């Protein structure tokens, strides 16, 4: 599918700490997200997740491997690929550009109004060993803002 020019590919980029956190939460709860417009199940586990260096590095390696695949498919002439940042998808012109790329006649404002926007939570309180994760990130020249975004320290 990735190499097929008959499929349009939208590559949604998201911060690696956010995706790692979401992956751990999904594994803990056995679900990735609540239904559209819904709330997490009342019995969904709320216990903090645990940073594990090997797991995070595997997560980063998987992301890097996928992005190398994206570069290969982008190099195929006539293979439609659009890269979109998760945090800006519902703001500005990104949603309209994505809808147009997909060939949709839907109005961006209509779609935007129908999609619940969940704020990105600060990942720090969600980890039982955040100081260990923070030390790891700092040792690699990274930090996490209160908005949950990874940046160079």
Instruction: Residue 87: name the closest of 5, 151, 135, 149 by CA.
Output: 149
| Selected residue with higher pLDDT from 3 and 32 | 3
Provide the Cα torsion 141, 147, 149, 151; round to 10°. -30
pLDDT at 36: 52
Instruction: Find residue 81's DSSP bridge partners.
Output: 9
**What pLDDT digit, counting tens, does each position of 108-137 carry?**
999 988 887 777 778 888 899 999 999 999
pLDDT at 88: 84
Q: How many Å separate Cα 35 from the centre of its chain?
A: 17
**What pLDDT digit, counting tens, does each position of 73-120 carry?**
888 878 889 999 988 888 778 999 999 999 999 999 999 888 877 777
**What pLDDT digit, counting tens, does each position of 30-69 carry?**
755 555 555 555 545 468 899 999 999 999 999 999 999 9
pLDDT at 79: 86
């Amino acid at each position: 599918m990735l190499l097929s020019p008959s499929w349009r590919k939208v590559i949604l980029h998201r911060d690696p700490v956010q995706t790692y956190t979401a992956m751990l939460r999904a594994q803990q709860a056995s679900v990735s997200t609540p239904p559209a417009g819904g709330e997490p199940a009342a019995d969904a586990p709320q216990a903090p997740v645990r940073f594990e260096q090997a797991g995070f590095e595997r997560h980063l390696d998987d992301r890097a491997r996928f992005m190398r695949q994206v570069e290969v498919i982008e190099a195929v002439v006539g293979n439609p690929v659009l890269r979109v940042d998760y945090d800006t998808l519902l703001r500005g012109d990104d949603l309209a550009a994505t809808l147009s790329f997909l060939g949709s006649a839907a109005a961006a404002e209509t779609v935007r109004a129908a999609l619940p926007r969940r704020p990105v939570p600060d990942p720090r309180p969600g980890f039982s060993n955040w100081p260990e994760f923070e030390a790891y990130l700092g040792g690699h020249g990274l930090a996490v803002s209160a908005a949950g975004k990874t940046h160079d320290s």
